[in-house]
């Protein structure tokens, strides 16, 4: 019994469909393209057929009429061809335009417009006789054979029905005088052609859903293929976790390198540690250069002590800055007043240690922290 992971039971993902389209593998119905071209041709003849017939009639009369003056005119042949072009180009251009539009719509209606260099390129596998025999005697070849029989039956049936319906009208053409019989004959022929072309649309209506179903069936995926695709597109979870760890380590190392340059470290005193730096010429407010909890906080305090960075205990302010300010970002405006008191105290303490000022008063325990910024 086949393993469930190997059974192609899942619908193709969008990436699978996109990759297939890049290789030129899209749902296409040749019968739909043929039906659109034939119906478009019939429509073009119905629209421009009379104009084309009259142009041909005028050209025939012009070419078969002998004018004595033209015998001695050396440019008469070129003039005649100019008249032919003048009469034929407008109806032929209209017919050609309708057919081109119909062909484009018919061939892009099912799978959309798609051009693939991979599909257009040379592949040695296409020249393989074995693969050619497989295509000739495979399921797809059998389906195409059945469709061919169905086409013949449908077209012959429609032809018989149309001839039987218009039989007496066609026979009546022999009783009409020229040019009415020509116009009527063209009218009948155009509608007969349109009816025969419309019969092909029945095949297209059956073939288009089948081609869509067959295309999806060929691209179905197994559960393992979906997992492999996810890993290749999103990345292996283990590798991503390793990358995140490496990024965190690099970020931690860079953060610790900034601690010696800090002006003050605000602590909880044990759980939180925030290193602040204030450069009046560069920042409008103090910036958080390092922050952390527990072991990271202890490491920040250790580096600060080694480099004689002032450490101030203010639990409420430490928690507030930690939860409201990102790393390398300035503190929020609502904490300016509280941080300003801390920096002022640190500055006075430095002056005192240098003997340039008296000992500062102890920092206030209840710093001005807004209610919404308390954590």
Model pLDDT for residues 9-29, shown as the tens digit of each residue: 778 877 787 777 777 777 888
Q: What percentage of residues in the chain have a pLDDT greater than 70?
A: 81
366: left (phi > 0), else alpha (psi -120 to 50), else beta? beta
What is the pLDDT of the chain when averaged over all its residues? Answer: 78
75-79, 136-140, 189-193, 325-329: range with highest mean pLDDT? 325-329
At residue 351 the predicted structure's pLDDT band, cuts being 50, 70 and 90, is: confident
Domain ranges of the chain: 13-113+125-232, 259-373
pTM over 0.75: no
Distance CA 310, CA 290 (A): 14
- Output the six-digit token pair for 301: 């305090």
Provide the pLDDT confidence category of residue 96 given band limits of 50, 70 and 90: very high
pLDDT top residue among 199 and 73: 199
pLDDT of residue 76: 66
What digits encode the pLDDT tens for the residues 103-143? Answer: 898 888 877 776 665 555 556 655 666 666 666 666 667 77
Q: What angle do CA 7, 8, 10 make, to 5 degrees?
A: 120
> What gap in Å lies between CA 237 and CA 324, rounded to an integer?
31
Give the residue, 189 or 37, on which the prediction is more confident. 37
Structure tokens at 91: 């109806």
The CATH superfamily label for domain 259-373 reads: secretion proteins EscU (3.40.1690.10)
- What pLDDT does 3 receive? 46
Residue 162: CA atoms inside 13 Å, Cβ hemisphere, count? 18
Q: How confident is the model at residue 101 (pLDDT cuts 50, 70, 90)?
A: very high
Evaluate whether 192 touches 164 at the Cβ level (below 8 Å): no
Residue 266's pLDDT is what?
A: 87
Residue 286: pLDDT above 80?
yes
Q: How far is the C-alpha of 147 from the C-alpha of 89, rounded, in Å?
A: 38
DSSP secondary structure string, 167-232? HHHHHGGGGSPTTHHHHHHHHHHHHHHHHHHHHHHHHHHHHHHHHHHHHHHHH-B-HHHHHHHHHH
Residue 244 tokens read as: 């995140």
Q: Which residue has the higher pLDDT, 262 or 176?
A: 262
Q: What is the pLDDT of residues 42-52, one digit of tens each?
A: 888 888 887 88
């Amino acid at each position: 019994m086949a393993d469930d992971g190997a059974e192609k039971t899942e619908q193709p993902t969008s990436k699978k469909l996109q990759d297939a389209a890049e290789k030129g593998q899209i749902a296409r119905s040749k019968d739909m393209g043929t039906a659109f071209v034939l119906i478009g041709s019939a429509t073009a003849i119905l629209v421009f057929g009379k104009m084309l017939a009259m142009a041909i009639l005028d050209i025939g009369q012009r070419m078969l009429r002998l004018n004595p003056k033209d015998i001695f005119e050396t440019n008469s042949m070129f003039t005649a061809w100019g008249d032919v072009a003048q009469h034929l180009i407008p109806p032929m251009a209209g017919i050609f335009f309708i057919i081109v539009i119909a062909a484009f719509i018919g061939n892009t209606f099912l799978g959309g417009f798609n051009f693939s260099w991979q599909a257009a390129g040379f592949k040695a596998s296409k020249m393989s006789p074995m693969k050619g025999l497989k295509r000739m005697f495979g399921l797809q070849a059998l389906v195409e054979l059945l469709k061919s029989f169905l086409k013949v039956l449908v077209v012959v049936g429609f032809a018989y029905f149309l001839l039987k319906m218009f039989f007496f009208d066609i026979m009546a053409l022999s009783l009409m005088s020229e040019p009415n019989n020509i116009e009527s004959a063209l009218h009948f022929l155009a509608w007969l052609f349109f009816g025969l072309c419309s019969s092909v649309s029945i095949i297209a209506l059956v073939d288009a859903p089948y081609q869509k179903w067959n295309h999806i069936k060929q691209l179905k995926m197994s559960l393992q293929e979906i997992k492999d695709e996810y890993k290749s597109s999103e990345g292996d979870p283990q590798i991503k976790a390793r990358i995140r760890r490496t990024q965190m380590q690099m970020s931690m190392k860079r953060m610790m390198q900034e601690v010696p340059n800090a002006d003050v470290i605000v602590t909880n005193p044990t759980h939180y540690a925030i290193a602040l730096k204030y450069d009046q010429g560069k920042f409008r407010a103090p910036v958080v250069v390092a922050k952390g909890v527990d072991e990271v906080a202890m490491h920040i305090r250790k580096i600060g002590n080694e480099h004689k960075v002032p450490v101030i205990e203010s639990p409420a302010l430490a928690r507030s800055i930690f939860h409201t300010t990102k790393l390398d970002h300035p503190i929020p405006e609502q904490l300016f007043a509280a941080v300003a008191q801390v920096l002022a105290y640190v500055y006075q303490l430095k002056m005192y240690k240098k003997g340039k000022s008296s000992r500062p008063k102890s920092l206030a325990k209840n710093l001005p922290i807004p209610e919404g910024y308390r954590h």
